[in-house]
Amino acid sequence: MVSDTSTSLRRTPLYDEHVAAGAKLVDFAGWEMPIQYAGIREEHNAVRNSVGIFDVSHMGQVETAGPQALERLQRLTSNDVSKLPEGGAQYSLLCNDFGGVLDDLFTYRLSGTRFLTVTNASNHEQDLAWMQHHGSEFDADVNDRHADFAMLAVQGPSARALVEQLADGHLPPRFHICQRTVAGVPMLVCGTGYTGEDGVELLLAPEHAAPVWQALVAAGAQPIGLGARDTLRLEACFHLYGNDLSEQWDPISAGLGWACKEETGFIGSDVIAAVRGVGPERKLVPFVIDGPGIARQGNQVVGGGEVTSGSFSPCLERGIGMAYLPPDTTEPGTRFQIDVRGTLRDAVVERKPLYRKDS
């Protein structure tokens, strides 16, 4: 059952829009967020086939700025920040001293000496404190910018065309950003997303969020809740912090070695280099259920391992998920069994992503 919401929850600047659109609201990381509007399947298909709009204003922003901003972020985050061009976007992990994952992040390079990092809502305060505490030897400041931004994601095959018709110029390509005016409002447009579809994310002043949302909905974007956001990202095999990532797991085990450049000397890099060298004890892989049933987070794998994300795939119309498995059982096509509340369900290791446009 959906948990009740209470008045102590935080609300985004789009709360009234969600209520007006008939959203079901739930507690998500302390925020009163829409889990669905028309229904998860319909919303999921809207993003796969046309265009949807998500309120992701619960996500946090941290700015790192100063002469040594790059050096400070290089120490804090796992990817090679020196490879991040001005106007670029980069995925990375924030790790602890033991290589455990504190959060997964997107960092945008606003200028030579200014970077904006997007955090997960559930981790924002902890990330901010960590980033302010570590790397203080560098000449750069780390500041909370969450209150300065609302964040919208517009995703789907028609997303770019829809946003562009309201914009004062071309939109940035994938993994790039630029300043634009959209629906009369200045904002940072980012060629990023979490659905496996083309699209953009918009960072703008909170007071402009409602009119921009209304303009995009009027232009044809369908409101999408967190329920479909989860099924979309899982079909695309994007990690969800708190499910597939936690301090318990290192990036190599999680299949995120590509986002770790140990030679940069980031916090946790020595442990991660060691794991990369000897190989992880578990590896995160996507799977599909062969037959009926839906595995869920926490279900145990027969022979060792655990499901960290599990749901129903609206596109594949069967149970899908991601699981940490022993490394000798992670080849695509390998069959295994999952204990789903006492019933053993057959599953097959798949390649990423689980859903592809032409599949």
Partner 1 sequence: MAQASYPADLKYHAEHDWARIEGDEATFGITWYAQDSLGEIVFFDAPAVGTVVTKDEQYTEVESVKAVSDVVAPLSGEIIAINQELSSSPESVNEDPYGAGWLVKVKLSDPSEVDSLMDASTYEASLS
- The site for partner 1 (CB under 8 A) is made up of 1-2, 24, 35-36, 39-41, 227, 230-231, 292-294, 296, 311-312, 314, 319, 341, 343
First to last CA, the chain: 33
Structure tokens at 307: 């499901």
Cβ 242 to partner 1, closest distance in Å? Answer: 15
Cβ 312 to partner 1, closest distance in Å? Answer: 5
Closer residue to partner 1, CB minimum distance, 32 or 262 = 32
List Cα–Cα distances, 38 to 11, 223, 306, in angstroms. 21, 8, 32
Closer residue to partner 1, CB minimum distance, 61 or 311 = 311
Cβ 122 to partner 1, closest distance in Å? Answer: 17
Is the bond leading into 353 cis (omega within 30 degrees of zero)?
yes
Cβ 333 to partner 1, closest distance in Å? Answer: 25
Cβ 311 to partner 1, closest distance in Å? Answer: 6
Cβ 335 to partner 1, closest distance in Å? Answer: 21
List Cα–Cα distances, 237 to 40, 346, 353, in angstroms. 18, 20, 5
Closest CA to 96 of 140, 127, 60: 127
Separation of alpha carbons 305 and 295, rounded Å: 13
Closer residue to partner 1, CB minimum distance, 32 or 144 = 32
How many residues are listed for the chain in this entry? 359
Given 3-state DSSP classes, what are the helix, strand and coil percentages for the chain, each rounded to the nearest 5? 25, 35, 40
Separation of alpha carbons 311 and 30, rounded Å: 23
Closer residue to partner 1, CB minimum distance, 133 or 341 = 341
Separation of alpha carbons 157 and 265, rounded Å: 39
Cβ 342 to partner 1, closest distance in Å? Answer: 11
64 and 234 Cβ atoms separated by less than 8 Å: no
Closer residue to partner 1, CB minimum distance, 18 or 134 = 18
Give me the residues paired with residue 68 across strands. Answer: none
Closer residue to partner 1, CB minimum distance, 1 or 278 = 1
Cβ 323 to partner 1, closest distance in Å? Answer: 17
Separation of alpha carbons 219 and 310, rounded Å: 34
Closer residue to partner 1, CB minimum distance, 333 or 342 = 342
Amino acid at 118: V
Cβ 103 to partner 1, closest distance in Å? Answer: 23
Closer residue to partner 1, CB minimum distance, 205 or 316 = 316
Closer residue to partner 1, CB minimum distance, 124 or 345 = 345
H helices present in 25-133, as ranges: 40-49, 69-76, 124-133
Which residues are CB-neighbours of 20 under 8 A, at least 6 positions away? none
Phi-psi region of 147 (alpha: psi -120 to 50; beta: other; left: phi over 0): alpha
